[in-house]
Each structure stands twice: as C-alpha cells, then as structure tokens.
Structure 1
Amino acid sequence: MSTNARLLDEPLPVELMNTIWADRDGVHDALRDPDGTRSWLHAVSSRTDPMTPENLDALAPADLDRLGNQLISLRDALRRLAAEAVEDPRPAAASCTRELHAAVTVLNQAAGETPHWSALSWTPGQAPSRHTRTSGQAAFAVVSAVAEESIELFSQDARDQLRACLAPGCVLYFLKNHPRREWCSAACGNRARSARHYQRHRRADT
C-alpha cells in the first residue's frame, strides 16, 4: 500500500508536514480521504511504536476518518510552526492554520490526546523486550507520538536545521543534515538549477 506523499526519510513530524505536496497540476493533500490516511500510516507504521499495520487495518471507517482529521489538524499546525521557524516565503506552502498561537494550542492538545508509554516484558529464559501501551486505540496514539516528537523538534537545536525547499513549485520541508544540502531532494535540486540556467540565458538574450 503506497502513499502519494513524498517520504524523504525525514523525522516523522517533517514527513507529516510533507503530506501536502505539489506537482505541475497544483498542490495536493495525501490525507484528503480515509484511503489516503490509511496508505500514509501504513507507509510510516514501522517508524511508530504505538501502531502496527494490524491495528490500523482493524479501524472502523468512522474511526479512520476521525484519525485522518486529527492528523490533518496536527499537520496544518506543524506547517504553521515550520513557516514561523524558517520565515517561509512560499505562498503556496501557507498553512490553513493562520495564527501561531492556534498552532501551538493544537500541537499541545495533540500531544496529550492519547497518552502512550513503554512497558517491559520479561519471561524467564527469554530476553526482555519493550512494548508500547496506550490509554486508547493504538492508532490514535500515533498522533500523540508525532506531536511529542514535534515539540522536541521545535524546542531544541534541530529547529535550526529545518528548511523550506525553495525549488520552483515545491512546498516541502526538510532538515539540512549536510552542509551542502539545499533542497528536499535531488529532483528539486535539478529543477532549481535548470530554472537558474534558464534565467541566466534569458537575461543574456535580452
């Protein structure tokens, strides 16, 4: 089950921000319907302790729809916080959440919505193992887990590595994890270089 979102091996908060993506046909939302939500959660399920593909597939349609709405609300809040952190100049990337205070409120509420914690299992003669326990449905704990990771991202030095991809038409974010990295992906880098090359030759011709 594949997702339309551009997964760039970024931290989960950034991957969630990037469920808004763009191409030549415009800006798209990978969480626009329950199928899109399920596909994205399947794609990242191995990176989230509270959720497994099995308990995701067990969700009733109404629960999946509610989960999608929670993810969209958190996603829009994170994109507003990211825009604040990087002084994002891209109109097409603007979040539906306009006020910084509103975005912070959504994030903090999401972090406490479905608490989750670690529990140790240890059977004699076997190696101990760690499990995740939640106070509600495990799939909903994913929202709280991503929110918690987001608070860590925005409150620590990693926030300074966050970047808006300024390639033509891109609305994605990424962490600048290498001094020479300027774009979210190689494809965006090629597009940006092509645009610069075109502009240079256009100026030379005129």
Structure 2
Amino acid sequence: MNDTAPGADLHPGLDLANSRVTAPGGLVTDLIDTPAGATRWLAERGLIPAGAELREACASRLRSMREQIRALLNARVGQLEPPPAALREINFVITHVPTAAELHWDPALGLHRAKPHPTDQVVDHALGVLAADTADLLTSADAERLAACESKPCQRFLLRTGRRQWCSVRCGDRARAARAYARKARLVP
C-alpha cells in the first residue's frame, strides 16, 4: 500500500505511524522492517543524508519510535490519557538531539564548526525530527482532525477532511462494500 493517508505528507510522525499496514486477510506490509527498508523510508523523506546506511540497531530504534508515536496517536483518537512511557520516550528523543554543529579544532583548519555524521547521530536527528513533529501535531489545531481509519483491519491514522473516514480510496471502497454486503445479508432470510 503506497498511498499516503491524508495529513501524512504534512506530518512525518503521522507518516511513520502509518509505515506498518495490516490489510484484509492479515497481510502485513512493514516499510521499515529491515535496515534497508528503514534507510529507504528515511531517505525518501529527506531525514537522512544520501549514502547513509542503517544497521539493525538503528532500524530497531525507528520501529520503537513508531510504536511510541502510535500509542500517543491512539490515546489522542480515543480521548485517553497518553501512556507515560510513550511521553517519556518522545521527550527523551526531543531533548537529546543536537541542534547545532559542534566546535572543533584542527591544526590545518583552526577552529571550525562541523556536524558529525556517524549513523547513530544521523538516526538521532531523524528520530528527533519525527518526535518533534508528533509533539507539534498533537498540540496543534490538526489534533482535532486526527482520526483512525474506520476500515477494518486497517490501523492507519489520518487527518480528516470533511466527512472522510478512511485513509485511502481502497479502504473506503472496502468499507462501503462491507456495509453493502451486511445490508444484503440482513435482507436474505
């Protein structure tokens, strides 16, 4: 399923939450289930530099962040208190991301500023962007439009526009077909 849910193009945190999709029949598509998939997902969104390559430990951190974001989105949609562990993790990531280039000394260059780019710092930065975006989403006017797709078994989130209740045309068609089948089944004795 390559189509993005409404709002995912504006909020990378929402997009990350939707990176694992369950389709009818229990078919699961996980865009970040491998280091290569996680690298591709982050690169396509401009969250890591070209040529970066994630290892399993970093991909695992991205999947963990996805679960924390999903927990926060589920709580918001369900009008529940957010899980404390999810809040702690999001806040930890937001506050531990370096925002400025470090000051270095090199005899040939003298004092200069440079951002280190080991993979873990690249992933720290990407996770920080995703965590901050999620915090922004959950505290903005868009939070009122946040919804879970109403087509089962889909588990994606969207920002409602008008009366739209589904994350994609495919989910909308599936939900309408299920309702029509249910109506027909009730009419048949």
**Is residue 49 of structure 2 the alignment partner of residue 52 of structure 1?**
yes
User: Bigger radius of gyration, 1 or 2?
Assistant: 2
Q: Where does residue 30 of structure 2 map in the other structure?
A: 29
TM-score normalised per structure 1: 0.72
RMSD (Å) for aligned C-alpha atoms:
2.4
Q: Where does residue 83 of structure 1 map in the other structure?
A: 74
TM-score normalised per structure 2: 0.78
Picking from 118, 125, 149, the partner of 1:165 is 149
Percentage identity across paired residues of the two chains: 25
Distance of 2:99 and 2:2 partners within structure 1:
26
Check 1:44–1:7 CA distance in 2 against 1; reply closer, same or farther (3 A cut): farther
Count of equivalent residues: 168
Q: Structure 2: state its 5+ residue gaps.
A: 102-113
Larger RCO, structures 1/2 (Cα 8 Å, 6+ apart): 2
SS at match of 1:21: strand
Q: How does 1:1-206 map to 2 (within 5 A)?
A: 7-8=4-5, 10=8, 11-26=11-26, 27-45=28-46, 48=47, 51-54=48-51, 56=52, 59=53, 64-87=55-78, 100-117=83-100, 137-176=121-160, 178-206=161-189
Q: Structure 1: state its 5+ residue gaps.
A: 89-98, 119-132
Q: For residues 8-44 of structure 1, give each alpha carbon's deviation from its aligned partner in whole angstroms, at most 9, with x where no partner exists.
A: 4611011100112112342343222212211211222
Distance of 1:163 and 1:153 partners within structure 2:
12
Runs of 4+ aligned residues of structure 1 deviating over 4 Å after TM superposition are 133-136
User: CA shift at 1:68, angstroms?
Assistant: 1.1
Deviates more, 1:163-172 or 1:23-32: 23-32
Check 1:31–1:87 CA distance in 2 against 1; reply closer, same or farther (3 A cut): same
